[in-house]
Chains A and B, each alone.
Chain A
């Protein structure tokens, strides 16, 4: 039996254990005068039986599945006759794939030496054995665990506590998975970044004003010496993000004010979901909207005004990105404005302030930290956005302050560096990791600031 078949089987066994324990707990309770005389409700005894059945079996299954391949491989390789024993790592993996292909019947046995076909037979046999043992062991453990818990259904045993404890651990494991993944990502980026800084000095990377990551493939090539200065990329990112925020903050904020303070309930019920739908549009769709509609329009407009403009511009990307992040600002601001206690509103209105005076003088200052949080969230979103920029702002790493020029951003460069066939030890490829690291640091800082601000806001009233 394969691991994939065992998994549902274990779950079925757990369900059976649940049912049996449930019935037994009721049976135990009946002569005592009902389930109130048990230490815990029948569902807890049943859940404990299911957990006892499933968890040890799943742990065994997981461990076995994790090590089975490696152990079998080692045994098979060790069984090879001395003349076939691999000399190098490359040779070993070649031999191994020969063996497994032969075992799978993809290779003609006549084409390989006898030793190899012997090993293939051994591999086949070991696999079958392992699979048999695994299935047997897992089922045995599951049944034993369930049976043990079944015998422990007794009025004086409190199943509630152990179920609670187990669930608590389960939640901890789930939280740990998320955290460990984050740590794993960070470390994989850090290692590659360190390798990159071994090839390109950090000062050149941080303060260089030219970005052209094409490195020479052959020593005699000319004109393709790589330049790894991130300043053009960061100015491009900053310019596009700034344009986006310039659009999103006023529009988002004022629409939040309108929605929370002025809109009647039916209007709000329609407008708010519509506005939030903007966040649901895939960024690719925004991207071609920017590239096909907005960018040519801006170019034509600029040409009409006698300005020089490229057909891909920071302005186009920024504008569309601004529209994209409006819901981040408006939705969060709306929530924060609504969270300002009604008493403050009433207090201001009762003093004869108009609605807009109340908004400006009382609600806005009280909600400001929360609004800032929303804006910073929108900003990290803008900095991390890729698709729109790829399509609408271009790939040219220009160091410019003209929003009608085409620029590029950190994320876009990461995409171009890592798409296609890559050798993972050239400075060009490793640069992507260094860029990712920089981006990570910047957005992390923004998030930390946002969190701090939000926390401060919580202390504001009440």
Chain B
């Protein structure tokens, strides 16, 4: 146990510690005896065939703890969804997996994070190689202000994946096909990517991520900026991609988590409360907090 947690003694967060709710608003119902034990996760957090082995992970922004002692395995070729109320640390945790938190000066990470048995945060670790293996799709579509072709070819070019122009063409075509964008984009590969619709842009970002043949794709609320039709399209895509990639998806939509994932992890105030098979989480959650959240009583 770290010095910080022992002085602040947040090992158990009780309902009575929470600020009182405004009586005019719908009351936040939470069982009075609900206790989160730090480091204790109900359900099945571990796996026999882990891609990621994450043990006792703690993340701090300055002195503020954002992730409190989380241990979790992410299995090979599974789709795991991170759900939880805003500010619960799920995005922070996701960004630890490809070290995207490195660029935040105040961010400190403790614990052991391993990808295929190798430490992600080892000082000798090559971040470039790590990120080539663990790709990421962001909340807001962020295509580069370049042509569609150049967007997809960006990763292969910097990693030297293609020796000839025709190889690169093949990679671009394959990636766009996998992302379900080829038919829409094949006639305008030279057009600016920023001119596409939001849903197309997000699929382009997925194509861009898979063009470097990653093993894992991290998705940080990939559909939150999209309309329902574009969302359905992306969800189909996730199902197709799950055959060849390990996918970690953060989402605010419980229906989405239920539709696309094999396992679901529920985060609460920096704790990992419950991890279970998705069907189990949404039918008979083991933890009271999970139940409250998925039934919409708070969050």
Contacts and interface: CB of A to CB of B under 8 A. Distances in A.
Answer whether A and B are interacting partners.
Answer: yes
Interface in A234-293: 264-265
Interface in B118-156: 127-132, 135-136, 138, 140, 142-146, 154-155
Contact of A351 (B135, B140, B146): B135
Interface residues of B, number: 28
Interface in A354-396: 354, 357, 361-362, 365-366
B155 A352 contact: yes
Contacts of A357: 158
A352 B131 contact: yes
> Which residue among B103, B135, B142, B159 has the maximum number of chain A CB atoms within 10 Å of its CB?
B142
B155 A344 contact: no
Contacts of A461: 145, 194
Contacts of A362: 144
Contacts of B127: 352
A186 B181 CA distance: 57
Contacts of A344: 142, 144-145
Nearest to A362: B144
A341 interface: yes
Given A362-B144, A365-B145, A461-B145, A350 B135 contact: yes
A352 B132 contact: yes
B142 A343 contact: yes
Which applies to chain A's interface (DSSP): helix, strand, loop or mixed?
helix
Contact of A354 (B128, B140, B146): B128
B208 A351 contact: yes
A343 B105 contact: no
A92 interface: no
Contact of B128 (A264, A347, A353, A361): A353
Nearest to B218: A350
A341 B100 contact: no
Contacts of B138: 343, 346-347, 350
B105 A346 contact: no
B98 interface: yes
A366 B154 CA distance: 15
Contacts of B128: 352-354
A345 B144 CA distance: 9
B205 interface: yes
A307 B145 CA distance: 49
Given A264-B105, A361-B144, 11 more contacts: A343-B138, A344-B145, A346-B103, A350-B135, A351-B208, A352-B129, A352-B131, A354-B128, A361-B158, A362-B144, A461-B194
18 contacts: A341-B142, A345-B103, A346-B100, A346-B142, A347-B144, A350-B131, A350-B135, A350-B209, A351-B158, A352-B127, A352-B155, A352-B212, A353-B155, A354-B128, A361-B144, A365-B146, A366-B145, A460-B145
